[in-house]
Amino acid sequence: MFKRTKSPTVEEQATQAASDGKAGGKGRPTPTRKEAEAAAKARAKGPKDRKEASRRQREFRAEESRKIRQGMKSGDERYYLPRDKGRVRRFIRDYVDRRFSIVEMVIPLMIIGLMLGYTGSSALVRASSLVLLATVLFVVTDMVLLRFRLRRELGRRFPGESLKGTTYYALTRSMQMKFMRLPKARVKIGQPLPEDYDK
């Protein structure tokens, strides 16, 4: 008869606590196993500090460079630089790679010339100068012939195509030793070239 009844405010608070979860709970729904695993992976992947972020960025760039180099070696044009793409550039690479160029012998000839110059013998010093001079003359002559013949062949095969930058592209490639060239050479020295470069 004389019992006090709970006030409406207390009852509402109790009901609200029951609906929110158990007493002493987190006050939020427990995440599912899938959500917990996804959150754990995100925490594991995320860099802890700037140093870690920089390290991961360097590793990513190194991996991308490795993929590009591998793609260029295998002949996958998706990995080529913009300067290497297109049928005209493909023909230039094949044209340069199929010919023997004196430019490839520049480094060995210069080493021989320098070695002769350091012997101390006046006759060998003169021979060293002659070797270096002959190397320069051969290189210049070879470059001029390459440009003249390449431009004539490009005009015949690709009429109406822009030839801007083709000479520089051919000369820079010819100055590299064949095994160091990228994209990798597809043809051997003296091998005939196909007439159709649209494929």
- Which residue's entry shows tokens 């290497």? 84
Radius of gyration of the chain (CA): 36
How far apart CA 158 and CA 151 sit, in angstroms, is: 10
Domain presence at residue 2: no
Question: Residue 152 falls within a domain, yes or no?
Answer: yes
Q: How confident is the model at residue 113 (pLDDT cuts 50, 70, 90)?
A: confident
Range of the domain at 94: 86-178
Is 71 in the same domain as 142?
no
pTM over 0.85: no
Q: Output the pLDDT for position 47.
A: 59
* Whether residues 100 and 142 fall in one domain: yes
pLDDT digits (tens, 9 = 90+) for 114-165: 887 787 788 888 888 888 888 889 888 999 999 999 999 999 999 988 889 9
User: Which stretch, 9-13, 36-40, 194-198, has highest mean pLDDT?
Assistant: 194-198
Examine residue 91 and state whether it is found in any structural domain, yes or no.
yes
**Contact assessment for residue 198 and residue 87, using Cβ atoms and an 8 Å cutoff:** yes
Q: Which H helix or E strand runs over 52?
A: helix 50-74
CA distances for 28 relative to 19, 68, 116, 119, 183, angstroms: 11, 48, 85, 86, 58
Domain count, the chain: 2
